[in-house]
Amino acid sequence: MATLTKNEIKITTCETSKINSIDFSNLAFGQVFSDHMLTCDFKDGKWQSPEIVPYGPLTLEPSAKIFHYGQSIFEGMKAYKDANDNVFLFRPMDNIKRLNISAKRLAIPELPEAYFMEGLKALLDLDKDWIPTAEGSSLYIRPFIFASGEGFHASPANAYKFIIATAPSGAYFSGKVKVLIEEKYSRSANGGVGFAKAGGNYAGQFYPTQLAKDKGYQQVIWTDDTSHEYIEEAGAMNVFVRINDTLLTSPVSDRILDGITRKSILELAEAEGIKTEVRKVKVSELVEAAKNGSLKEMFGAGTAAVISPISGFGFRGEDFEIPEQDNSFGLQLKERIVAIQTNKTEDPYGWRMKV
């Protein structure tokens, strides 16, 4: 495996920073981009030396295979500052490991871990001032790889580009969301790429989600691809259900992303004395729990929002509301995760990495 230190990375800085033109008190999610980005090319059978350059447009041939065969993967991460201006990442090694799991599934060359981690550290050192400090805000980090090699032949590309771009962002969601349980369209299938963070997974979600929005919902709950009998994910997030005082979530599979927030919630819940079950959850079980009052909470879990509460769901023309809980497991676990991420509490799990 290739080795690298951040001091070995070539850096070309922008002539003029745009940071003073940014209203950090009014940040939308992922709409404003920092001054620099990390880039690294794969060519001649190996990854070249990464470098940091000013954030800006890319030049690609129309025959670049990303446009034709969709070899594209990404990750989502955040950087945080504490009260002493220290910078932290949350479980970053899980991100590089998952990026390479996705790469392998899409026939993309795996990226050396040192290129990812040392490149990210160097980028954060350079753009440290872009990390916001307001409550609920962070520097969103988007590492991604796509096929830059050229040709119309249906085969893996011979060249790829790895980029890390960053965006100072406010909260991803505000308020609760109402979801529709999807029974026709599927997010992914057995043997497919649902477990990978592939761009095509998300492209395929947009149309059914828009259909749900047209009916007055904000998102969909995906069900399994064969029987549509079991709930699997909430939009682009893992989904949790609280029935009475037990927190349920689906097991990961070919179809379900092994979410880093999901894993953290399960471990924290155990430490907090919250009973958890990782098992298949039937739609019929969810409906019955909503009818008899044992359904206490539903929420999505992912990097961007951490936890996104679900206020109700629709199924076969009927809507079910989920009452607010005074002792919300979702909010309790979100507070614990954010406190670890932002260095406001001890981290007994070794999840927080100081940059």
pLDDT in tens, 54-85: 999 999 999 999 999 999 999 999 999 999 99
How far is it, in rounded angstroms, from Cα 39 to Cα 36?
Answer: 10
Tell me if 284 is assigned to some domain.
yes
Tell me if 1 is assigned to some domain.
no
Computed over its alpha carbons, how large is the radius of gyration of the chain?
A: 21
Tell me if 155 is assigned to some domain.
yes
User: Tokens representing 313?
Assistant: 């769901």
Return the DSSP state at 192: S
* pLDDT for position 279: 98
Domain count, the chain: 2
DSSP string, 84-132: TS-EEEESHHHHHHHHHHHHHHTTPPPPPHHHHHHHHHHHHHHTGGGS-
**268 lies in the same domain as 239:** yes
pLDDT digits (tens, 9 = 90+) for 154-190: 999 999 999 999 999 987 766 779 999 999 999 999 9
User: Tokens representing 229?
Assistant: 């009998």
pLDDT digits (tens, 9 = 90+) for 10-39: 999 999 999 999 999 999 899 999 999 999
Check which CATH number belongs to the domain holding 163 and give it: 3.30.470.10
* pLDDT for position 144: 98
pLDDT band at 288 (very low <50, low <70, confident <90, very high): very high
Is the pLDDT at 7 greater than 90, yes or no? no
Tell me if 353 is assigned to some domain.
no
Closest CA to 309 of 243, 234, 212, 211: 234
Decide if 42 contacts 152 (C-beta within 8 A): no
Residue ending a domain, choose from 120, 147, 169: 169
The two beta strands, 87-90 and 72-74, are unpaired
**205 lies in the same domain as 225:** yes
Tell me if 348 is assigned to some domain.
no
* pLDDT for position 174: 62
Give the residue numbers spanning the domain of 96: 6-169
pLDDT digits (tens, 9 = 90+) for 270-284: 999 999 999 999 999
Residue ending a domain, choose from 133, 150, 169: 169
Is the pLDDT at 310 greater than 60, yes or no? yes
Decide if 351 contacts 90 (C-beta within 8 A): yes
Burial of 223 (0-12, 13-18, 19+ CB in 10 A): buried
The two beta strands, 138-147 and 87-90, are unpaired
**140 lies in the same domain as 80:** yes
pTM of the entire predicted model: 0.96
CA distances from 108 to 63, 149, 161, 198, 286 (A): 18, 11, 10, 11, 39
Angle at 63 between CA 58 and CA 66, to 5 degrees: 65
Tell me if 223 is assigned to some domain.
yes
**199 lies in the same domain as 74:** no
**75 lies in the same domain as 110:** yes
**186 lies in the same domain as 139:** no
**15 lies in the same domain as 79:** yes
* pLDDT for position 127: 98
